[in-house]
Each structure stands twice: as C-alpha cells, then as structure tokens.
Chain A
Amino acid sequence: MASAKGKAKTDAAPAASADELLQHYRAMLLIRRFEERAGQLYGMGLIGGFCHLYIGQEAVVVGMQAALQPGDTVVTSYRDHGHMLATGMDPRGVMAELTGRSGGYSRGKGGSMHMFSRDKHFYGGHGIVGAQVPIGTGLAFAHRYNQKPLVSVTYLGDGAVNQGQVAESFNMAALWKLPVIYVIENNKYGMGTSVQRAAAGGELYKRGEPYGIPGMQVDGMDVVAVKEAALKATRHTRAGEGPYILEMMTYRYRGHSMSDPAKYRSKEEVSEVRTKHDPIDHVRQLLTDGGMADDNKLKALDKEIRDIIADAAEFAQASPEPDPSELWTDVLAEA
C-alpha cells in the first residue's frame, strides 16, 4: 500500500516561481488578517455564537486550492473562513455573515459555521463533526455520475477522523473509486483533546490503508509542499484511481473557538510554532531571500490586504440586519 510520509520543505519540491509565491503569500495574508479582524469584531460583540479561527493553518487551504481546477468542489467543517476566502468568496459577504447581516452569504441565517457558494463550488460550512465527510463523498459520487473530470476536496479535522461516518465514507469511496481527496487538517487537537488521546495508532494518513486508499503526510505549514502533495493527489484521483488521503500537519494558534481554557497545551508550545514555523513568515522569507520581492513590494501588498479587510469589516457593520420576513423564507423550495 502506497502510504508515504511526504517529507517536509527539504524534499526538493520544484522551486515555486516568484509569481506563484507572491500569490500564495497574498492569499494566506488575506486569511490571516481576515481572521484577526473577525476575532476583534467578536470581542466587540458584533459577532456572536461560535467563531472558529483558522490562524496558523493558512498554508493548507491555499496550497490545496492552488492545485484545483475550475469546478472542483470544496466542503469542510465549521472552521471554514479560510476555505471560503481561498475559493475566492468575497470577504465582504463572509464578514457580513459573521455579523449576521443581510449582506452575508447566507443573508445572516447561517453565521460563521454555515456559508455556501454555488458560484465558487463551496458546499459549506458544517457544524456536526464528521458530517461533511460523507457529503464530500457524495459530491464526488455526483462528479463521477455526471462524467465530469472533477474532484471533491473534503476537509476534516484530526478529531473528526474518529467518527464512524468517516470510516463508512472511506469504504464507499474506495469501493466505487470516487474522485475525492480527504484532507485531514491535523492541528494536533480536537478542542482540548490531543491526537494521541483520541486516535489509536496516530498516523492518520494511514486510516485509509485497509481500504486501499493511498495516504500521505504533508508539512501543512509549507504551502509549496502542500501544493505538490495536492497535485499528486489530484492526478491520481482525476485518472480514475479513486480516493486519496492527505494528512496536513498544521497548528491552530488560537483557541478552539473564542472561548478556550488554554490549559491543554503550553504557551511555549504555541509560541514555538508561531515563531519558528509560521507558514506566512516562511513564504515571506523565501520571497526576500530569493530576491523575488523587496520590502516595498511586500509593504504595498500588506496595505492592499489591510484595505480589503477594513472594507469588509465596514461593510459587515453597515449592512442591515435581515428583514424580519426572512425568518420564514428558504425553509422549503416551491414545488
């Protein structure tokens, strides 16, 4: 069985071009700044309920998305802001959904965990741990049924891996050779429970082995490595070879949601990753060391991103609350 431990940065991934690196940098920075602002708006009481931030994990969605083709679908859990921005969804619409306003992607009815965009082939935004996995498998089933050369990228957490419906999905996907890539975002914890305390055997990329699903462990803090792995998986899947599992080794800097006791890991552990393995710093370093971008260029880019986020935040606060009549719409379609 072809489970492989794809090695980290040193593994001579063909050097990415300056353009490509800049695009990655921009996309990751957009997510980082967006999430920081969301955290701020939450603290101000403008966002309610749960709000699961993606800070630290940006390289995973950005690298994955860079390997996709138009029409490929994406589905994920509640930690979804980064995935939406990576698919090209409008930061204004995402932020306005966070504030529960009519300008949001779900017109204020879904909130942080529940947004969708047919246009960008993003299928949510699901709040029940593991539930998106059979759904993503079904998206793949439809791609095959429709005889389209598309893949379904289905994200799940390290905690979600243990849900029964994930094993059920792996079996069906392998049995029917469905074009689905399961991306396990191993950020080391499901809420306050470490992978070691939740998953027997560790090595989550091997979870598909009994079904014959190849798996690979990837440095999820290195956007170039992520994209390489994604290309490998999509080639396999598009060739009709069936599902693929990518275990992205990553880290969430913030609490599980906004409220988090922060007692299950040490401050040193967090700051170690932050200072030594930050995915954005890494690309910035590549850009400056390689002479691909100077300080001025990066500063200009930072400013551009800040402006986009400021605009989104402003929009999200100015957009009106949904009309009370919206309470009753969208329950069923007219038959």
Chain B
Amino acid sequence: MTIQILMPALSPTMTEGKLAKWLKKEGDQVTSGDVLAEIETDKATMEVEAVDEGVLQKILVQEGTENVAVNTPIAVLENGGAVAAKPSPTNGKHAPVSAPAPAAQVEKPAPSKTVAPPKPQSVAAEMAVGATRKMTVREALRDAMAEEMRRDERVFLMGEEVAEYQGAYKVSQGLLEEFGPRRVVDTPITEHGFSGLGVGAAFMGLKPIVEFMTFNFAMQAIDQIINSAAKTRYMSGGQMSCPIVFRGPNGAASRVAAQHSQCYASWYAHCPGLKVIAPYSAADAKGLLKAAIRDPNPVIMLEHEILYGATFDVPEDADYIVPIGRARIARPGKDVTITAFSITVRHALAAAEILAKEGIDAEVIDLRSLRPLDTETIVRSVEKTNRLVTVEEGWAFAGIGSEIAAQIMEKAFDHLDAPPARVAGADVPLPYAANLEKLALAQPDDIVRAAKSVLYRS
C-alpha cells in the first residue's frame, strides 16, 4: 500500500514552510525515525522524520519550494504492506484542519473565519516620517536592538536561547554574530536569577535588555521586577537608577494551554515605577523598543507571538522613536470608540470593518502604552463618539478595560451615552481544546456585539 507523506505542522502557529532539502531520494529505503527532509519556517529549521517504513517512491514537492502549506502531500511512500503498516484512518488523506493561509498574504488571518484581515494602517504615513520599508514585527524588534547596541556600548541582551539558538522565536537572529557573546548572553533557565542580575547591572549603569522566552516565565522573576527594578529609585530618594527593558511574548499563542497563555498587561500596568508598552504594528514595535532602551526607567515590553510574522511598513530612519505614553488612532470614526492593544488591535480593526458594513463608524485606538496610559486621547475620542468599548486578551476583572472605564467615568462621564463595555478573555484559565480556546478568547464578533450594545442596536 502507498502512504502519502504530508507537509507536517511543526509548531503551534505554522501554516506553511519551505521545503529546504530532501535527505532521502526516490527509491531510498526509509525506516521509522529516519530524517526525510528539512523544512524552514520563518521561525526555525526543522527535520521531518519518517513515521512509517517503506520505500520513498516519489517526491511530490521539490527541494527549494517555498510556501508549502501544511498538509500538502510532499512525497509518496510505498510500504510493502508488511506488519509495519499502521492502520491510520486519516493517512493518505488531507487531515481535517482548516485551510492554510494563502502564500502571498501579508498578515496571518484574524482568528475569526468570517472576517478578512484588515489592511494594517501605515503608521509611517500617518506620521509622515519619510521612506518606509516592509518588515515583520520580528525583524523590527531585532533591528531596534541592533541599532541601539551599535549606538550605545552599555546596551546588552540577555536571556534563554537568545544567542546561539538565535532566539526561541528567532527575534535575536544575527545579534550574536554581530555583537559577540559579551553582549548577547545565553543564560541558564533561571529567570529570577538573571532578572535580578540584570537589575544589579542596571544599577551599575549598564542598560540590559532581558528577554523572557515568554512572559509566563517572568512570573518566576516578578519579585525582582517589582520589588527591585520598580521601587529602588523611589526608595533611594532618587539616587539609584534602573534603566532596564524586560521584553518577550505575552498572551495566548495557539493551543499551548493555561500555563503558557496569559496576558500580564494589568499585572505590570498596576505598578508605579514601571513603564509598560504593548505594540501592535512593526513600526511601533521598533519605535517603542528603541524608546524603551533609551529610557532611564524599567520598561516592560509585552510582545505577541502571533504578531511576530506580521508585516507592516516601518520607517527607515534609524532615529525613528515612538514616545512611550502616546496612543495612536488606528482607524478614525465617529460612532463608537474601541480601545485595544497588541494583538487585539487586529481584532478591533476587523470588527470595525464589519461594523462599517452595517453603517457604524468605529474609531479604533491602539493604546501602544499601558503605563503611562494616554487617557487624553481616549477622552477626546469619547467626547466625539459618546460610547466606549475596551478590548483586551486578558481577564476583565481588574483589567486594563476596568481602568479605562474608571478613568472615563472620572473624566468624561457627562459625554457617555451608554455604560462602557469591556470585551476580554473568558474568566477562566485558558483551555487547550481548540473549540474551548476559541470560545475563551475575544473574537472580532464579540467586539461587534459589544459595539452594538453600547449603541443600543441589535
């Protein structure tokens, strides 16, 4: 019997990859565990291992082919029908997963299947800052670090797998090569230790960038972040300074379950002595990271794994800085204000498209900074729209939306025509099952519903 070998999905967010190399050729005998081919994605190079045994009868996708969608048959194995033939109900058929993204797409599709991904707004155009270049968020972050490291000897990067591995999510690609192991430092898995070490180095005047593989693991280190980094300037009567950046992916990736999928925005935004940023676009990622590195204070930068591969226009100017504490109108509108940050900007923009079709003109504010929060921009918007919907991936209780609602209550109460609505993650630890995970995370449709509810429409 023949078995089709399909393009495997090798990571939670992989939809396609490049078939970089065949290590077996047609006619070769393969046994289970043999490496058949190498695949490259934007994140990593990976090996495809044979699961079944037999003879590699035909190669269907030649090496060097780019953008091979997950589950595309890549080769045919002739398995002499021996004992090793495993009855596998879906073998040889396309597995029942949703269709992969089209190859040339700039952004990955928004989670809701009913909504086309919105065209990312060109921040650069909005700010009129000269020439721009298309770039992923991943590249923008890397460039920001590289540029600041070139500019300032005191800046160094430290974290798990940042150097030799090039970053667990390939964000620090090429940095070890350029700056060497003195300034790009692989650590053991000791978050509390290296975060505290970073704080000590910052006290001495160095400017550490501490990368957390994800912010879930920063919980090991949160004591050093809050008790040491955030409070020391105050406790020392202004003598001590802690210029440090803690950065890494925050929030839910895809199907990685409760301990790996939490949004920490409100945790850090709660604390005086910290600045907290959470960009959506690549331009903001770059401009804000550069601002954070130059800032004399501890800055928490919350990134998002699902955005790393998204492409945006980024200004080429090496001194392009986005000031911390300023929101951006991602889409102007007059009927309802929707605040969002990080990945939820994508959902909010998608929701605004749906609302537009129904004659509702939503204004989407990309907060970008959470502490300090640009309350002024939100107030001005609400004065115009008289309605507010807040969106976040994390939980509603004591969340960013709660803070915004409170501030609007205090500063723009008379302008409100309806109580603000909060769209947030379900009040449960994030479940693993595909259907439950989707239910737990805020989707564009939830934002549409909330916007209509504050407009008293159904």
Query: Is B165 in contact with A303, judged by CB distance below 8 angstroms?
Result: no
- Selecting from A2-10, A13-21, A155-163, A237-245, the interface stretch reads A155-163
Q: Which of A63-71, A171-179, A201-209, A321-329 contacts B (4 or more CB under 8 A)?
A: A321-329
CB-defined contacts of A231 to chain B, threshold 8 Å: none
Closest B residue to A33 by CB, please name it: B86
Q: Please, how many angstroms separate the alpha-carbon atoms of A12 and B189 in the complex?
A: 37
Bound Cα distance from A193 to B185, whole angstroms: 12
Asked whether B297 is an interface residue with its Cβ less than 8 Å from the other chain, the reply is no
- Residues from chain B with a CB closer than 8 A to the CB of A317 are 89-90
CB distance from B225 to the nearest CB of A (A): 15
Shortest CB distance B219–A (Å): 8
Residues of chain B within 8 A (CB-CB) of A113 are 257, 259-260
Closest residue of chain B to A195 (Cβ to Cβ) is: B188
CB-nearest residue of chain A to B190 = A162
Q: B1-26, CB under 8 A of A: which get 1 and which 0?
A: 00000101111101000000000000
Q: Which residues of A contact B186 (CB under 8 A)?
A: 193, 197
Interface hit among B114-122, B277-285, B407-415, B429-437: B429-437
Contact B428 A100 (CB under 8 A): no
Determine how close the nearest CB of chain A comes to the CB of B14; give it in whole angstroms.
Answer: 7
Of A44, A162, A313, A321, which one neighbours B71 at CB under 8 angstroms?
A44
Given A114-B259, A267-B35, also A164-B12 (CB < 8 A): no
Does B33 touch A at the CB level, under 8 Å? yes
Are the CB atoms of A331 and B189 closer together than 8 Å? Answer: no
Q: Is the CB of A261 within 8 A of B45?
A: yes
Q: How large is the interface on A (under 10, 10 to 19, 20 to 34, 35 or more residues)?
A: 35 or more
Residue among B6, B97, B161, B257 facing the most chain A CB atoms (10 A cut-off): B257
In the complex, per-residue mask of A189-232: 1 if CB is within 8 Å of any chain B CB, else 0? 01111000111000000000000000000000000000000000
User: Can you name the residue of chain A whose Cβ is closest to the Cβ of B70?
Assistant: A45
B contacts with A, residue count (CB < 8 A): 66
Other-chain contact of A259, B43, B166, B190, B259 (Cβ < 8 Å): B43
> Do the beta carbons of A127 and B70 come within 8 Å of each other?
no
A45 contacts B9, C-beta separation under 8 Å: yes
Tell whether, in the assembled complex, residue B256 and residue A50 are in contact, meaning their CB atoms are under 8 Å apart: yes
A191 to B165 alpha-carbon distance, docked (Å): 9
Mostly helix, strand, loop or mixed at chain A's interface?
A: loop
Which of A44, A109, A274, A310 contacts B432 (CB under 8 A)?
A109
Pick out which of these stretches binds chain A: B46-54, B229-237, B264-272, B350-358.
B46-54
**Does residue A294 face the partner (Cβ distance < 8 Å to B)?**
no
A48 touches B434 (CB 8 A): yes
Do residues A43 and B8 form an inter-chain contact, with CB atoms below 8 A? yes
Across the interface, which residues of B come within 8 angstroms of A160, CB to CB? 189
Is A111 at the interface (CB under 8 A from chain B)?
Answer: yes
Structural contact, A191 and B433, CB atoms closer than 8 A? no
Alpha-carbon distance between A299 and B82 when the two chains are bound, in angstroms: 12
Inter-chain contact A49/B188, CB cutoff 8 Å: no
The answer to whether A101 has its CB under 8 Å from any CB of chain B is yes
Query: What is the minimal beta-carbon distance from B262 to any residue of chain A, in angstroms?
Result: 11
* Least distance between A120 CB and chain B CB atoms (Å): 20
* Stretch from A34-42, A134-142, A284-292 forming part of the interface with B: A34-42
* Contact mask for chain B residues 66-93; partner A; CB cutoff 8 A; 1 contact, 0 none: 0000110000000000010011111000
Q: Report yes or no: A274 in contact with B83, Cβ–Cβ below 8 A.
A: no
Contacting pair B12 A49 (CB below 8 A): yes
Interface centre among B6, B83, B432 (most CB of A within 10 A): B432
B456 CB, nearest partner CB in chain A, Å: 28
Q: How far is the CA of A109 from the CA of B48 in the complex (A)?
A: 28
Residue of B with least CB distance to A107:
B433
The 10 closest A-B pairs by CB, nearest first: A43-B8, A111-B432, A48-B255, A45-B97, A49-B255, A259-B11, A108-B433, A127-B259, A44-B95, A100-B433
